[in-house]
Amino acid sequence: MKGCTPGQVAIVLAGRFKGKRVVCLKNLPSGLILVTGPFKLNGVPLRRLNRAYLILTKTIVDVSKVDVSKVEDSMFRNKKLSVKKRKEFAAKEEPKRRVTRSEDLLKLQKSVDTAVLASVKSVKRMGSYLSSNFTLSKNQRPHLMKF
């Protein structure tokens, strides 16, 4: 299965961000694709997505100034707790567990989004295109559409 070209706009088909348009940044060694919303436009952070959950479109955003050379698959994996930490964690009663992102990933998110937003703003109506959701109406056939 083919990957995507950097800067290509894709539509997410499943998961928390389904229907959102995202910008592909890089094909990772694991076979997943690194994408971003950018977060300021549609709320999609830097994420790894499988190609099977994306519809690639013909629309391309210039991402030549975006530096994602330091991004690796290991940055997105959760840290495993030791047995001692797990027992301590289970003993505590916390109301709700929140997923937190590491400081490095947050800094990377800001730097990537500023570069992507600059190129998005240079194209007329690209910001509104990325911030709108993809939906189907009655009698629309996605298998006959050209993206």
Task: Please check whether residue 1 lies inside any domain of the structure.
Answer: no
Q: Residues 33, 51: contact at Cβ < 8 Å?
A: yes
Mean residue pLDDT across the chain:
83
Whether 23 has a pLDDT exceeding 90, the answer reads yes
Q: pTM for the whole thing?
A: 0.79
Q: What pLDDT does residue 37 have?
A: 86
- Is the residue at 21 inside a domain? yes
Q: What is the CATH number of the domain that holds 20?
A: 2.30.30.30
Would you say residue 145 lies in a domain? Answer: no
Domain count, the chain: 1
Domain assignment of residue 43, yes or no:
yes
Closest CA to 105 of 137, 134, 136, 79: 79
**Residue 28 belongs to what domain range?**
8-137
Residue 146 lies in a domain: no
Rounded distance, CA 73 to CA 32, Å?
9
- The band of 100, judged by pLDDT with boundaries at 50, 70 and 90, is low
Range among 68-77, 83-92, 94-103, 109-118 rated most confident: 109-118
